[in-house]
A = this chain, B = another copy of it.
Amino acid sequence: MTFSSAFDVDIDSTSPPIVKGFRFAGIASGIKSNGKPDLGLILADELVAAAGVFTRNRVRAAPVEIAEKRTRKGKLRAVLVNSGNANACTGAPGKKATEVSTAALAKRAGFKAEEVAPASTGVIGALLPADKIVDAMPRLLDAVGADRASDFARAIMTTDQWPKVAARKVRLGNKDVTLLGIAKGAGMIHPDMATTLGFVVTDAGASPALLAKLLREATDVTFNSVSVDGDTSTNDSLFLLASGQSTMLKAGAKETARFREALIDVLGALARNIVRDGEGANHVVEIVVQGAKSDADARKAAKTIATSPLVKTAFHGHDANWGRILAAAGRSGAVFDPAKAEIRIEGNKTKVAIVKRGMPIGKEAEAEAAKIMATPSYRILVKLGVGKGASRYLTCDFGKSYIEINANYRS
């Protein structure tokens, strides 16, 4: 695989661009008891091509089951999102509540409930108050505007500290194509399941099958290569909607490859934003594994390093603890010869090797590395020395407030 700049993209999130064919809204419907925005809508001007990626957790909330079924048909008119309540582990009444909510939108807006994908995030085990959503529907539709993506971004937040928006414009086939991504935080800190929701809309067009393929590929190297605490939510959902009002993408075309890169950039920026937004996280760390027997092996090693509590606490202490990193790679299942392993710490300006041929270089190198590890963001390069497989994972440190917040969240 090649390494795009996925995680490095920083895009101004204060003024999301207009995307032809889509309008947005975000209002307070009373699901959150503090009166903050909790109901969001993405409304397409007509039925548009759509794809989705959903949590692989066996325990899936009602909205996930329904959204997956509806999105699988490849066409959607709207996505209806609420925060403050995940509607997970709520049985048949939960399913009913989501159906009632999406039906209310469909009826009022004049399309079919099957054309609305739902998404929910918030407390689990509590039934979604569908009546509040139904009551708020006129206000929600009144609030809709092409320039209201920021309202939507705020309405889907749970304990996120800031709204997460990333956009990219690319010139494809003599036309300007815009991609706008909006997400809400997972987070090492975030209570309970730390649900990740992501939405990308574009004015490019594509067949549902191509769209699904592009989304899956881009998700693998971005949202699926991010670890905060290794847990997967009951509600994780990611959507891609394409209005087709600019260039039409075709499988195998050069433009499609460039669109894919732009999609990776947008999702990568959102993923990085999600990792950064942890109260206990002081450092965003990219784990890059190279020289593995295969990409799959590299991924195993990168993921195991990125989710090791011992490694993550060492990050918190700016400790160039190569032993923990090497041992995590060693237990990952990746095949390699430890006697050939190399580890480098790479900051914005300086790089330093701390392990060569499986052995530590010395205290001086580790002191240099510790300086880089005191900065907010750096990279750890692990070379396994047995092949050409590569992968990477984005993670963060484990700080004391992780324990504080997660131990006391519900008490």
**Chain B contacts of A57 at CB under 8 A?**
327, 330-331
A232 at the binding interface (Cβ < 8 Å): yes
Q: Do A234 and B327 form a contact, CB below 8 Å, given A89-B358, A317-B406, A317-B407?
A: yes
User: Cβ of B232 and Cβ of A331 under 8 Å apart?
Assistant: yes
Report Cα–Cα, A265/B333, bound state, in Å.
30
Report Cα–Cα, A317/B406, bound state, in Å.
8
User: Cβ of A402 and Cβ of B313 under 8 Å apart?
Assistant: yes
Contact bitstring A383-411, B, C-beta under 8 A = 1, else 0: 00000000000000011101110111111
Residue among A88, A193, A323, A408 facing the most chain B CB atoms (10 A cut-off): A323
Residue among A90, A234, A313 facing the most chain B CB atoms (10 A cut-off): A313
CB distance from A81 to the nearest CB of B (A): 20
**Chain B contacts of A60 at CB under 8 A?**
330, 338
Q: Which secondary structure dominates where chain A touches chain B?
A: loop
A91 at the binding interface (Cβ < 8 Å): yes
User: Cβ of B322 and Cβ of A125 under 8 Å apart?
Assistant: yes
Which A residues form the contact surface with B (CB < 8 A)?
56-60, 88-91, 124-125, 192-194, 229-234, 308-310, 313-314, 316-319, 321-324, 326-331, 334-336, 338-339, 341, 355, 357-360, 370, 398-400, 402-404, 406-411
10 A-B pairs with least C-beta separation: A317-B407, A59-B330, A313-B406, A58-B330, A57-B330, A316-B407, A125-B360, A232-B331, A59-B338, A124-B323
5 contacts between A and B (CB under 8 A): A57-B327, A59-B329, A59-B358, A91-B359, A400-B404
